[in-house]
Amino acid sequence: MVKKQVRIYFLCMQNRCRSQIAEAFARRYGGEHVIVESAGLEASSVHPMTISAMEEVGIDLSGHTSKRLDMKTFMNADVVVKLCEQLNERCPVVPFGIQNFEWNLPDPLATENIEQVRIVRDQIEEKVKGLLHSLDVLDT
């Protein structure tokens, strides 16, 4: 039996760290079972510490760009994951029928310390695996 692809949209404020990391891990662990994108309310650029922290786990984000929230992608998602608290007040209401998760992870870039980025990266990796497992799309 072929599994249906699940559309997942990861959102944070600037799409420069947390949502980029979540998107990358969802691609790694969801494989062909997921269609995954990330965005921010504001576009920025992928932060160098994000790129470095992900290189350490074998994921290259150097070619990634920061994207702004796209309402078509938002409305077509099966799952929307908000990675930061600031987003809750400013994000559009997630429509009925779309699973909505709020992970409220602190901004690791606020400290200018790559160790914080690593800690949040590892938390996101575990949360993404749990999410994909709950959706029955974790590639093993």
Range of the domain at 110: 6-134
Q: Is 12 a catalytic residue?
A: yes
**Residue 95: inside a domain, yes or no?**
yes
One of 17, 49, 80, 84 is an active-site residue; which one?
84
| φ, ψ of residue 40 in degrees (nearest 5) | -130, 165
Name the pairing type of β-strands 79-82 and 99-102.
parallel
Question: pLDDT tens digits, the chain, 140 residues: what are they?
Answer: 556 799 999 999 899 999 999 999 999 999 999 999 999 998 889 999 999 999 999 999 999 999 999 999 999 999 999 998 777 677 788 889 999 999 989 999 998 899 999 999 999 999 999 999 999 998 86
Q: Is 17 a catalytic residue?
A: no
**Residue 140: inside a domain, yes or no?**
no
Amino acid 69: pLDDT:
94
All residues at 6 or more sequence positions from 8 whose CB lies less than 8 Å from its CB, including other chains: 26, 30, 34, 35, 36, 37, 77, 78, 79, 80, 81, 131
- Any idea what the CATH number is for the domain that residue 99 is in? 3.40.50.2300
Closest by Cα among 34, 47, 30, 14 to 117: 47
Which residue shows structure tokens 């949502």? 19
What pTM, to 2 d.p., does this model score? Answer: 0.94
Domain count, the chain: 1
One of 91, 124, 132, 137 is an active-site residue; which one?
91
What is the average pLDDT value for the chain, to the nearest integer?
92
Residue 140, helix vs strand vs coil: coil
**Residue 1: inside a domain, yes or no?**
no
Residue type, 42: E
Q: What is the pLDDT of residues 38-75, one digit of tens each?
A: 999 988 899 999 999 999 999 999 999 999 999 999 99
Give the end-to-end CA distance of the chain in Å, rounded to a whole number.
16
